[in-house]
Amino acid sequence: MLSSSPSGPPPPASPTSGDRLQWHTASRIRLRQLMLVDALGDVSNLRLAADMLHTTIPAASRLLRQLEDVIGVPLFDRQRDGLHANIHGDIMIRYARKVLNDLATVRAEIQSVAHGLSGTLRIGTVQSTANLVLPRSVAALVREYPSLSVSIQEGEMHMLQDALRRGQIDLLIGRGIQRTGLDDLSYQIIATEYFSVIAGSRHPLAHAVEVRPSEVVDEQWILPPRHIALRNLIDSFFVRKTGRAPGRVIESVSVTTNQALLAELGCLGVLPTNTASQYEQAGALSVLPLDLGEISGPLAIITPAGDTAHRGVRALIGHIERLVEQDGA
């Protein structure tokens, strides 16, 4: 006689000893230890880190020692000038900050569900970029969610990427992306950004019909610093066209300062084409007829990799995508 097999779903598999060991290790890591690691990543000094946690040096030392016992390896090298993260410490700092950021995101998400979309959405943007798409998207977002506050921080790409990793901003709109070694960030390309040469409205070339690279390479320029990808593209363009890069350069990424220098010194500069056109229409500058079509770069929304963005981030991204689809702003 055939025996009948038991009905119902099979029982859940028992966790392996390895799973139990990993859970046991994770459960012994305390939030205060992660906060201490985060602080030490900033100041490399136990006393200052203890002050940031409002605790004593012995208590902070004990927290660190207990964490290193749990992990099984030293995380910091003890030197005369402080505590310096070793290779294991760098990994621990990165993951501590991710956990702390995730906890803050969870809290904001729960609050937004409980009270409607509210709180503060923190946006980072590279100076002078996304000049059209970002304000229009933020305006649409605030109209949709009047209780939501928005904070916009401008800066250089590498500084904003670091702020994103630390959880100091919620998303970043940036350009000139260098992905090498940045696997902890997620990129969504939304447009290709092109650039134009600009001058003050009273510059001798402001009303020229045609401008050649050889005519302007020796002019006074305002350009981004050399560590910014756009600067390398500009220098390479002029080297190909004239055999040399601009030599008289003021390095600046401040749109306001650059606009004043254009008028004061008769400088030339470079701006994203959409941004330059907006300023030209307002009579603030002139776009020169010099083709920089080969200079372009991706404009992207950047968020922490694998992060489940809170509703404000998702809502803003939705508005940006719709605007770009409508008119490529």
Per residue in 203-243, pLDDT (tens digit) is 899 889 999 999 999 999 999 888 888 888 999 999 999 99
Per residue in 277-286, pLDDT (tens digit) is 888 888 888 9
CATH 1.10.10.10 residue ranges for the chain: 18-94
Give the residue carrying structure tokens 């009579």.
Answer: 283
Residue 13's pLDDT band, with cuts at 50, 70 and 90, is very low
Residue 273 scores a pLDDT above 50: yes
Residue 299, phi then psi, degrees to nearest 5: -105, 125
* Nearest-angstrom CA–CA distance, 94 and 41: 9
Q: What is the pLDDT of residue 110?
A: 66
Per residue in 237-266, pLDDT (tens digit) is 999 999 999 999 999 888 788 888 888 888
**Between 49 and 329, residue with greater pLDDT:** 49
Tokens linked to 183: 């696997």
Q: What is the pLDDT of residue 38?
A: 92
Residue 129's pLDDT band, with cuts at 50, 70 and 90, is low
**Between 43 and 183, residue with greater pLDDT:** 43
Residue 103 CB coordination number (10 Å) = 13
What is the CATH T-level fold of the domain 18-94, as seen in this structure?
Answer: Arc Repressor Mutant, subunit A (1.10.10)
Tokens linked to 261: 């220098």
Residue among 249, 254, 253 nearest 235 (CA): 249
Question: Domain 119-329 maps to which CATH number in 3.40.1360.10, 2.40.50.100, 3.40.50.2030, 3.40.190.290?
Answer: 3.40.190.290
Q: Which amino acid is at 61?
A: S
**Pairing between strand 171-175 and 119-126?**
parallel
Note whether 226 and 315 are within 8 A (CB).
Answer: no
* Nearest-angstrom CA–CA distance, 127 and 154: 5
Range of lowest pLDDT (9-13, 220-224, 261-265, 322-326):
9-13
CATH 3.40.190.290 residue ranges for the chain: 119-329
Residue 182's pLDDT band, with cuts at 50, 70 and 90, is low
Note whether 27 and 64 are within 8 A (CB).
Answer: no
Per residue in 34-93, pLDDT (tens digit) is 999 999 999 999 999 999 999 899 999 999 999 998 889 999 998 888 899 999 999 999
User: For all residues of the chain together, what is the average pLDDT?
Assistant: 81
* DSSP conformational letter for 117: S
